[in-house]
Structure 1
Amino acid sequence: MTPFSNVCANACCLWRQTSTDFSVDPFFPNKSFRELNMKLYGSVRPSLALLLAAVVAISACSDSQNTEKPVERVWPVKVASVSSAGDVSARQFAGRVKAVQTVDLSFQVGGKLQEVKFSEGEFVPKGRVIAALDDRDFRRRVKEARVNLQLLEKTLERQQALKERNVISSQQLDETQTNYDLAKVALENAEQDLAYTRLSVPFDALVTRQLVESYSNVQKGQGVVRLQNVSEVRVQVSVPERLLATIDADRVESITASFEFLPGKEFPLEYREHQAEADSVTQTYVVELGMARPEKVQILPGMTARVKLRLKQDVGELRVPLSAVQTNADGTPYVWQINDDHSVSRIDVELGRTDGDSVQVTAGLNPGAMLVAAGGQHLYEGAKVRNYAAAAAAQPVAETEQ
């Protein structure tokens, strides 16, 4: 018997009880049976109506539950398409200008700083003298060394003449010859020290800071001025490990730099060097590129640049995101392809060259096919998916309360 039948039976029993024939009413002996029966009927009728309404509602809910079908799960995924590459693909990086070299220039002798011929922020060419020491003591030492050398030179000539007549021994002549050679070296050292009192620029440089005040005493090797080698412009970029590991120099079409303050202009770059250790946080490698210094433009260290890398591609080459590729237990690569009914099918693929975040597909896919690029770890054959990026874009934006 169904719940609905039980409720109906109970209602009928209740109705029979209310219509029982009473001959004597012990509580109301003066009232007739008809009056008593009318009161009982009037009190039970509203309750019976409510009971029947509840029975109908319960029956309707029971029927809807019995006919409800299970809802199929739809998996949210990120969608990407199989792209057909042209003859050139481009990647962009944020770069920062740096100096080729930064040095603290110093004198190789100590003394009093007498002349400063530079100002901070000035470009100075290679070979220019930018500072000088008081050289009076150094000039005096040169004169003393020269006089001593001249004296020993005359002494050596006299003793050589005496040796020919066997007046002196060979030992005496050798000692004079040695003293003469030492005096010659002393003069060369004195002249070299005199030259060291002039500080010249070893390369085209930008003066960034004066480290010592004028007329102060400086020690040998003490930094006097800080210079940056700006013989060319260097630009540093951080390159992902995948790109650095797989890029081939023969496939590089061009590398150029552009600057916001020079709109519409691109400057060719050339590879210089790269760091062999990756950044521990970003897992990227710093690559240093160089370009000729443009005329009438001050590109200074610390400025930002936009670096564009153009790579040669095979015409018609198919590429997919690396994140779309998964592997079987045996290492075979496959992708989840999205069908027209939003179900997925597993497609085995053959992979080729990897460039950064994308990989070449040599077999298994057609151009324009839609793939699961993220969120495919729990998918199965025939599973339904939806593009969560498109769903998020379709959500209305709530207005901010004023």
Structure 2
Amino acid sequence: MEDRAQRRGRPGRQVGRLLGIPLYLSPSMYLLALLVTVVYGGYAESELGVAAPASYLIGLGFVACLLGSVLLHELGHALTARRHGIGVRGITLELLGGYTEMDRDAPRPRVDALVALAGPAVSVLLGAIAATAAWLLPDRTVVGQLAFQLAASNLLVAVFNVLPGLPLDGGRALRAGVWALLGDRDRATEVAGWAGRLIALVTAALVITLYQLQLITLFGLVFILLVVFTLWQGAGQSIRLARMTRRFPLIDLRRLAKPIFAVPSGTPLAEAQRRRDSDTRGRPALAVADAAGRLVGLVDARAAAALLAARRPWVAVDTVTRSMGAVPALAVGLSGEQVVRAVQAHPGAEYLVTSGEDVLGVLHVADLASVLEPHRAPRRWGDAGPDAPDQWKKDQ
């Protein structure tokens, strides 16, 4: 249904490779496979006269055909992207379709549009082939009905996906057009995101009306509303991403980095915190130095906070310290986009800010979030958690 760049924490397992592209199956896909097998198996039994368990084997075959259709749709995106020099990290099949993960955004509006529309074009081609087969095959036969259902599903996917709103493929095409017109990719993303939310609202109103007129079943209502909810969330994520991306130039690691306050190895944790709190620079990051004054570790604030206050005078600061090598580092000269991509690649709560071999300070991920989303409720950095960067994943 959509293409995504820099997606992290993929919810699925790799099941193979196709043309060098890793293929993943989301756990939700197994639920869909079971549901479609049961529903289509019941249809084959009641309408086509196929006795169980053969009817459910037909249902399973229909699931395999659907998966193949979705995979070919995503391959359309992936191969078009590779043709234009964009790397493909993988294809994931999930409950409501699939997505292609790319290693970077399209460099130009034309490429963005071509990659977006390649998937629906494949679905149209598959639908036309299946429709031709259904027309040629005898009616009321298993093979003929399979061909008809595949034609209908592929053409429906193609039509739905070209609707002009993110996160749909048509939304990417709309963004490409607005991008070419305004010369501002972020503004174009925001426009296409709001269009996606409008499509979600119209679709919800339409499907509720159809249900009230008894033109669709309760199952159809619930399923389409699930799709609408996914669209609404995806559109909102695109809008949020565009606003954050516009703020990338404001990311200055030298300004955001907290200074470091070092204490000797073996210092009781309570004493180390007392010394740090008396520092006139505010609340610097607490670190541990060896006898030669070299920094050897950074105190894990969450681990320190988890210790009861009564125990801290009797526990050495070293027990809640991570070695400097275990803390990811960011070079002070990185651009805002490079910083975000590095954080996505190595999720964490804090990062060393370095200049050559020198450590200039510590970046807390919550401070980075406050630059990207200044209007969101402030949070302590320790609440951000190691998965916080996934909130900034670039769902296109």
Q: TM-score, normalised by structure 2?
A: 0.19
Structure with bigger helix share is 2
Higher relative contact order (CA 8 A, sep 6+): 1
Give 1 or 2: higher strand fraction. Answer: 1
